[in-house]
């Protein structure tokens, strides 16, 4: 189940499961920020043409809704890889961000932040070893199985058991809208083999892929049992979400965050 929160003009979504466990997290809609069109208004990326002052104020507003210190943030330079890193202190924002598409921490003083605009955002939580993670999976990260890499890294570094993990798949381009060409669908067919039929729909000359299910299947294969999916399509809901495809490339990126702080 999804929970909708409204605070200070911002609107964000949470998973009821994580909320009940006391985990501060959120997928932030585009509402309540300061950026002008086409980034209106809670844009979290400086790489799309918006000013860094606007983005910083938007970040500040996001952190304010969670009553978190902005200085606790750690964000990466997202490059559609399967790389994930473990971070035990906030990022020094004066230095360049590390290229990574997955962040994991066991430190409650760190808030993990990522940016999205159609790609799949996934948060992870281990209540036993007390570890949280977040990853960014567009179609490339999905076929590279960053989901599996996240779970394996949490096992290897923190001793997590996959069966203890909670996973939440947030808003992204949905199976109704993620239309692909043969060069993309063939990679899914190859990588997901027998499961490919469950992910790929071919109808009337149109091929679509279900990225939510692809990530779910990869997480399940890695041993994760508790997986929630928000089932919110960013293209269908452009009034609330930035959508790279829906807005034809001229748009912002929305923020997602998770932390152990206070849990
Ligand atoms: Zn849609």
For residue 6, count other CB atoms closer than 10 A to its CB: 12
Would you state the pLDDT for residue 1? 86
**DSSP structure string for 160-227:** --GGG-EEEE--B--TTT-B--HHHHHHHHHHHGGGHHHHEEEETTEEEE-HHHHHHHHHHHTT--EE
Would you state the pLDDT for residue 67? 97
Rounded Cα distance, 6 and 12, in Å: 7
**Sheet of 73-75, strands arranged across:** 2-7, 10-15, 24-28, 254-259, 111-116, 73-75
Average pLDDT value for residue range 165-169: 98
Instruction: Find the 234 Cα to ligand 1 centroid distance in Å.
Output: 6
Average pLDDT value for residue range 121-127: 98
Rounded Cα distance, 10 and 30, in Å: 8
Instruction: Find the 7 Cα to ligand 1 centroid distance in Å.
Output: 26
Residue whose structure tokens are 């910083």: 56
- Given pLDDT bands bounded at 50, 70 and 90, which one contains residue 138? very high
Mean pLDDT taken over the chain: 97
Instruction: Find the 179 Cα to ligand 1 centroid distance in Å.
Output: 10
Indicate whether this model's pTM tops 0.85.
yes
Instruction: Find the 201 Cα to ligand 1 centroid distance in Å.
Output: 14
Helix (H) or strand (E) holding 5: strand 2-7
Rounded Cα distance, 249 and 196, in Å: 28
Smallest CA-to-CA distance from 233 within 244, 222, 224 is with: 244
Instruction: Find the 237 Cα to ligand 1 centroid distance in Å.
Output: 7
Whether residue 225 has pLDDT greater than 90? yes
**Sheet of 226-229, strands arranged across:** 84-86, 102-105, 131-137, 120-126, 166-169, 226-229
- Given pLDDT bands bounded at 50, 70 and 90, which one contains residue 12? very high
CB 115 within 8 A of CB 242: no
Instruction: Find the 125 Cα to ligand 1 centroid distance in Å.
Output: 27
Would you state the pLDDT for residue 214? 98
The topology (CATH level 3) of 2-172+229-259 is: 3.60.140
Instruction: Find the 106 Cα to ligand 1 centroid distance in Å.
Output: 35
Rounded Cα distance, 109 and 111, in Å: 7
Would you state the pLDDT for residue 109? 98
Instruction: Find the 246 Cα to ligand 1 centroid distance in Å.
Output: 9
CB 61 within 8 A of CB 8: yes
Show me where the domains of the chain are located.
2-172+229-259
What are 79-123's pLDDT values in tens digits? Answer: 999 999 999 999 998 889 999 999 999 999 999 999 999 999 999
Average pLDDT value for residue range 166-172: 98
Instruction: Find the 59 Cα to ligand 1 centroid distance in Å.
Output: 27
Residues 6+ apart with CB under 8 A from 169: 120, 121, 122, 212, 215, 216, 227, 228, 229, 230
What are 36-80's pLDDT values in tens digits? Answer: 999 999 999 999 999 999 999 999 999 999 999 999 999 999 999
Residue whose structure tokens are 């971070």: 87
Instruction: Find the 175 Cα to ligand 1 centroid distance in Å.
Output: 7
Of all residues in the chain, the percent with pLDDT exceeding 90 is 95
């Amino acid at each position: 189940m999804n929970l909708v929160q409204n605070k200070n003009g911002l609107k964000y979504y949470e998973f009821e499961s994580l909320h009940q466990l006391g985990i501060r997290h959120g997928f932030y809609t585009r509402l309540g920020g300061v950026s002008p069109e086409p980034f209106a208004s809670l844009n979290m990326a400086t790489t799309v043409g918006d000013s860094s002052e606007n983005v910083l104020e938007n970040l500040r507003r996001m952190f304010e809704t969670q009553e978190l210190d902005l200085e606790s943030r750690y964000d990466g330079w997202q490059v559609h890889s399967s790389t994930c890193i473990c971070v035990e202190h906030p990022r020094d924002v004066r230095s360049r961000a590390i290229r990574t598409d997955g962040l994991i921490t066991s430190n409650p003083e760190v808030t993990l932040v990522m940016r999205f605009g159609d790609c799949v955002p996934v948060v992870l939580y281990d209540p036993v070893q007390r570890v949280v993670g977040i990853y960014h999976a567009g179609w490339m990260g999905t076929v590279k199985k960053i989901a599996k890499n996240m779970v394996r890294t949490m096992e290897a570094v923190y001793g997590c058991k996959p069966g203890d993990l909670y996973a939440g798949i947030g808003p992204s381009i949905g199976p109704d809208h993620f239309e692909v060409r043969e060069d993309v669908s063939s990679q899914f067919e190859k990588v997901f083999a027998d499961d490919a039929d469950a992910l790929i729909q071919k109808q009337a000359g149109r091929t679509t892929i279900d990225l939510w299910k692809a990530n779910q299947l990869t997480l399940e294969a890695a041993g994760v049992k508790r997986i929630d999916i928000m089932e919110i399509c960013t293209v269908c809901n452009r009034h609330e979400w930035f959508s790279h495809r829906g807005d034809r490339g001229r748009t912002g990126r929305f923020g997602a965050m998770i932390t152990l702080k206070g849990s």
